[in-house]
Amino acid sequence: MVSFFRRKKPETPSGSESARRYSAEELAAAFPTAPAGGAVPAPVERPIPPPAEAPPPAPAPDVVEAEPGAEPVPPEAHAAPSSPAAIDAVAERGTESVTEPAAPVAVVAEPRPSKPTPAAESSADIPGVPATAVAAPAGKRGWRDRLRGSAFARSFGGLFYTNPKLDEDLLDQIETALITADVGVAATTELVAALRKRMNAREFIDAHALLLALREQLLALLRPVAVPLRIERADKPFVLLTVGVNGVGKTTTIGKLAKRFKDEGRPLMLAAGDTFRAAAVAQLQAWGERNGVAVIAQGQNADAASVAFDALQAATARNIEVLIADTAGRLHTQQGLMAELGKIKRVLQKIDPDAPQEVLMVIDGTTGQNALSQLRQFHAAVGVTGLVVTKLDGTAKGGVVFALAREFGIPIRFAGIGERPEDLRVFDAEAFVDALLPETLGA
């Protein structure tokens, strides 16, 4: 067994840097615990690399030091696999490193022999999840439980409590509630104008009827984007590339998806493409280990496109059905880092011209209207095909989901309504809208 924590980089001048262990601070950074409703983590600025082009650059030789007591690895065992079969053979040997000056170096972290993960298991061993976290109740109740604290639900709850009359004042209150809940000016203006028109045409007998009409309008905005992710079994891996700004929940979402796909019986692999943050690779490996899923990694500061390339080669050779690639969080305003995403995509397409089959952008539901400019920039850089809106259980106002749907029409695949793996729900327009509106609407 070879430990990632002991990777050595012989080319490092001092030699000590490459052999170092992770500090408590780095590990804490790898498994952050965001309390439900916590503030959005401050995006991390990082140096912008010079524009790089495919093919993936070859990192210098990398050596993995064996754990004490382990058999020494013969030099020839470090030769990089030159063919898919060779990569497969390396992967089959277990957690291992391969080295060759002219090729990327991969660490394939194999899952430990099947560790049972019953649903009721304590969350103490789930990376980044507080031991006290419990899954939301199943079905619509879970959505309502988790979203009841949102600004949207609170405003409309208050509005109902006052037993409103059917008049202009009610429309004003609805307008304020929608704006406050981050629905955005454009969508709010459209929604309220449509209600006013129908009210003036005497279509509503009372305020309750008007609010029912609002529910229908909100559903009409979301139904077109409530398109679940479909993974058809094919003769090549379905590559899912996750992107998004810092701290939005990319790695956690990958962990949750890994559990979902594993439970569905899909052969699965993860690629540790966040090579920027000190312990990001360890965070993904912990999720992989917990779910019994292999993780392809090269460690910190490796070229992210090279990791993705390696991973797709390995996944193809091993007849993997789904490959999920993590990427480092990046500010949408940093052009160099955004260009790096395009490079990852191009490098994947050297193996499969259709890859990635899904570019899944993770958006923090507490972000507010800034989510719109984030999506605009990521979409321009890498062509986003699906969204995950996370942290809807926290201080998220809820309304930004409508603004995103109206402006982009990009499918919302999943919603994060908590930190447990079970809390990543397939996006359900009706469950979402009804969780935001008072139960007295009869939904």
Ligand X SMILES: Nc1nc2c(ncn2[C@@H]2O[C@H](COP(=O)(O)OP(=O)(O)OP(=O)(O)O)[C@@H](O)[C@H]2O)c(=O)[nH]1
Contact residues toward ligand X (CB under 6 A) are 32-34, 36, 128-129, 244, 246-252, 274, 277, 280, 329, 390-391, 393-394, 416, 418-419
Give the Å distances, CA to CA, from 145 to 122, 362, 381.
21, 22, 36
Q: What is the DSSP code (8-state) at residue 120?
A: T
Binding segment (CB under 5 A) for Mg ion, from list 2-10, 135-143, 157-165, 243-251? 243-251
Query: Is the CB of 164 or the CB of 365 nearer to ligand X?
Result: 365
Structure tokens at 320: 């993997």
327 near Mg ion, rule: CB under 5 A: no
Rounded to the nearest whole angstrom, what is the least distance from the CB of residue 389 to ligand X in the complex? 9
Rounded to the nearest whole angstrom, what is the least distance from the CB of residue 78 to Mg ion in the complex? 29
Contact 195, 214 (CB under 8 A): yes
Give the Å distances, CA to CA, from 141 to 133, 136, 432.
17, 8, 10
Which residues in 101-192 belong to E strands, given as ranges? 107-109
C-alpha 116/C-alpha 290 separation (Å) is: 9
Pick the closest to residue 211 from 443, 383, 36, 427 (CA basis): 443
Rounded to the nearest whole angstrom, what is the least distance from the CB of residue 426 to ligand X in the complex? 14
Query: Is the CB of 177 or the CB of 304 nearer to ligand X?
Result: 304
Using alpha carbons only, what angle is made at residue 309 by residues 304 and 313, rounded to the nearest 5 degrees? 150
Contact 410, 387 (CB under 8 A): yes
Establish whether 34 is an annotated binding residue.
Answer: no
Query: Is the CB of 251 or the CB of 366 nearer to Mg ion?
Result: 251
Contact 393, 416 (CB under 8 A): yes
Establish whether 251 is an annotated binding residue.
Answer: yes
Rounded to the nearest whole angstrom, what is the least distance from the CB of residue 344 to ligand X in the complex? 15
Looking up tokens 């004490």, which residue turns up?
68
The site map against Mg ion for 356-375 (x = CB under 5 A) is --------------------
- By residue count, the chain amounts to 443
Q: Which residues contact 203 (CB under 8 A, 6 or more apart)?
A: 209, 213
Query: Is the CB of 184 or the CB of 329 nearer to Mg ion?
Result: 329
251 near Mg ion, rule: CB under 5 A: yes
Query: Is the CB of 174 or the CB of 245 nearer to Mg ion?
Result: 245
Establish whether 40 is an annotated binding residue.
Answer: no
Of all residues in this chain, which one has the CB nearest to Mg ion in the complex?
Answer: 251
Give the Å distances, CA to CA, from 430 to 223, 416, 436.
8, 16, 10
Establish whether 248 is an annotated binding residue.
Answer: yes
Contact 243, 362 (CB under 8 A): yes
Could you tell which of Mg ion, ligand X, none binds residue 32, using a CB distance below 5 to 8 A set by kind? ligand X
Query: Is the CB of 96 or the CB of 340 nearer to ligand X?
Result: 340
Query: Is the CB of 250 or the CB of 406 nearer to ligand X?
Result: 250
Looking up tokens 């493409």, which residue turns up?
273
Contact 30, 277 (CB under 8 A): yes
Establish whether 398 is an annotated binding residue.
Answer: no
The site map against Mg ion for 269-288 (x = CB under 5 A) is -----x--------------
Binding segment (CB under 5 A) for Mg ion, from list 121-129, 250-258, 304-312, 350-358? 250-258
Rounded to the nearest whole angstrom, what is the least distance from the CB of residue 126 to Mg ion in the complex? 15
Rounded to the nearest whole angstrom, what is the least distance from the CB of residue 53 to ligand X in the complex? 24
250 near Mg ion, rule: CB under 5 A: yes
Omega cis (within 30) before 356: yes
Establish whether 392 is an annotated binding residue.
Answer: yes
Structure tokens at 434: 């009804």
Establish whether 182 is an annotated binding residue.
Answer: no
Rounded to the nearest whole angstrom, what is the least distance from the CB of residue 228 to ligand X in the complex? 18
Structure tokens at 55: 């093919």
Rounded to the nearest whole angstrom, what is the least distance from the CB of residue 174 to ligand X in the complex? 28
Pick the closest to residue 283 from 388, 126, 417, 423 (CA basis): 126
Binding site for Mg ion (CB under 5 A): 250-251, 274
- Residues annotated within the binding site are 244-251, 326-330, 390-393
- Residues annotated within the binding site for GTP are 244-251, 326-330, 390-393
